[in-house]
Chain A
């Protein structure tokens, strides 16, 4: 087993994702299977990063079980979430679009 960041947790040997156990900021270097990679966007606790490159159409595996299908190619170390994975059962509902529209309209987060 190659070296992986202490902030990342491998739940099962078959998994192609790692669970984030402490928040990691954008641009911070992370160690994934011996490779040092920059993290493009900040991720919070409980989110997932790709343990290795995952091709579009490939199953995403966590707990040793399939949790969905990749909808785009996902590079190693990238954030794995609703923007690049779909359920094999029912679509996931999020408030992402509503929140983004609200934040633009109200200029939230701008300094």
Chain B
């Protein structure tokens, strides 16, 4: 049994990593932030929001991400004239007990001077973080997300059900597990509703998928990429049924939206499709947008099932890459943590691969680097959205 330990934060949550977040508050500050983090890029991860216009969702996401349990210190990088409310963000981080500093490029002497100041600040923080104390941590304190990307006809019969088995084990152990995305559950709404803990939640789950179907229908595209079709998937509902298998067999305890933190253990559906009129374009423009939302809801790590062969990782929280397709695994094995393609070849059962994933979750939580993490993947993307708050029937009593 792997012994877990974590970094205790003031809100009681524990981190499995102790990263410095370098956050740009508008695209105009992105280059400076990247240069600041570069010499220490294994420990200092760049996150940020590119827009110059204010957005409540983005503000909330940045507040959640900068106070994520895996984050030990935060450097904010502002150009100076953007609309992002850096004052509020800095206050939220300070109140969480984390070291925080804001550098405003227009007031710090421009690019080179800001980079030098930022790099010096990061170096000082890393020295502090190196001696941070770890405290014992239980599996039940973990929050784990799951996404799939680059799905193909193998995903739904190997990697996704195996991830589902790992989820079942984690939920049984008291952890909080989050699956998504409602646009990739179109066609599964009735099957899914039967797993809700209350009839009210069943209605909420159905409504969330109906909202997604409406939203994507207005946009004219499903959550479906050309590569999905190359891999044998024909329709969004076929892709959905495969994706749905990631959720496992547990009862569904609640529905959350990006940034809502599960109040206790159990299985949660994340509703990622914006509320109201269709605005700002596609809900999640690529896989990392989903991982970012999982992190904003406290996910310590994300299980990522891929058939075509996604190579991404994530800033702040490790990604466990599960290969669904055995041919792809042969081509990209160095990028893959788990080979669920063995299920297709008849070399392993769904249960066996599920157990492997569960064991790897614990090892990654205990500090073992995942493939994408070791190779320096730290992708991040955050765009505009708008949500209404969730109602009381969405969460378990």
Contacts and interface: CB of A to CB of B under 8 A. Distances in A.
A80 interface: yes
Say what secondary structure dominates the interface of chain A.
Answer: loop
A94 interface: yes
Interface stretch (A30-38, A81-89, A100-108): A81-89
Contact of B307 (A43, A46, A67): A46
B153 A19 contact: yes
Contact of B229 (A45, A60, A67, A82): A82
Contacts of A67: 187, 234-235, 237-238, 241
A87 B237 contact: yes
A48 interface: yes
B196 interface: no
Contact of B234 (A21, A44, A80, A95): A80
Interface in B202-261: 213, 216-217, 220-222, 224-226, 229-238, 241-242
Contacts of B327: 23, 45
B221 A93 contact: yes
Contacts of B325: 45-46
Contacts of A82: 229, 234
A47 B237 contact: no
B152 interface: yes
A47 to B, nearest CB: 4
B235 A68 contact: yes
Interface in A3-25: 9, 11, 19-21, 23
B234 A48 contact: yes
Contact of B222 (A11, A46, A85, A89): A89
Interface in A38-64: 43-48, 60, 62-63
Interface of B: 152-157, 186-188, 191, 213, 216-217, 220-222, 224-226, 229-238, 241-242, 307, 325-327, 344-345
9 contacts: A19-B232, A23-B327, A62-B238, A87-B222, A88-B235, A91-B221, A92-B229, A93-B225, A96-B229
Interface of A: 9, 11, 19-21, 23, 43-48, 60, 62-63, 65-68, 80-82, 85-96
- Per CB-CB distance, the 7 closest pairs between chain A and chain B, nearest first, are A46-B153, A46-B232, A47-B232, A87-B235, A67-B238, A90-B222, A68-B235
